[in-house]
Copies of this chain bind each other. A is one copy, B any other.
Amino acid sequence: MGLIKTEKFSKEQNEIALIAKVIGHPARVAILQHLFKINACVCGDLVDEIGLAQSTISQHLKELKHMGLIKGNVEGTSVCYCIDTENWSKMKQIMSQFLDQDVSNSTCC
């Protein structure tokens, strides 16, 4: 079917999955890393930086923006992107809580 049965899972489980999913593509990882590295706004050199078509990058940016991980400000004819620090922190906390589950006393297998 290709259709995820979200109704079978908790809100938290769906949220974790959605966050992970948006990070689950190397182009989006690369975009985020670049925005962190520059540590400021970036106005469109992402297409050169990553080797994909302009329309493809634009689509990935849209997804990142939709999940709230980045912000985009229009500056004349170009658009200025950067990490949405507030949402990034929230997202980080949700993921960290999931990743940090204690694993010490698993004496099985």
CB <8 Å contact, A106 and B39: yes
Task: Count residues of chain A with CB under 8 A from any CB of chain B.
Answer: 56
Contacts from A to B (Cβ < 8 Å) = 4-6, 8-10, 13-14, 16-18, 20-30, 33, 36, 39-41, 50-52, 71-73, 80-83, 85, 88-89, 91-92, 95-96, 98-109
* Copies of this chain, whole number: 2
Q: How far is the CB of A4 from chain B (nearest CB, A)?
A: 7
Q: Residue A88 contacts which of B36, B39, B83, B103 (CB distance < 8 angstroms)? A: B103
Known A-B contacts A103-B88, A109-B41; A50 and B8 likewise in contact (beta carbons under 8 Å): yes
List 24 interface pairs A-B (beta carbons < 8 Å), by A numbering. A4-B27, A8-B51, A9-B27, A9-B30, A13-B26, A13-B33, A17-B28, A17-B29, A20-B29, A21-B21, A21-B25, A22-B24, A24-B24, A36-B101, A71-B109, A80-B108, A81-B109, A82-B106, A83-B103, A83-B106, A85-B103, A88-B103, A89-B103, A92-B100
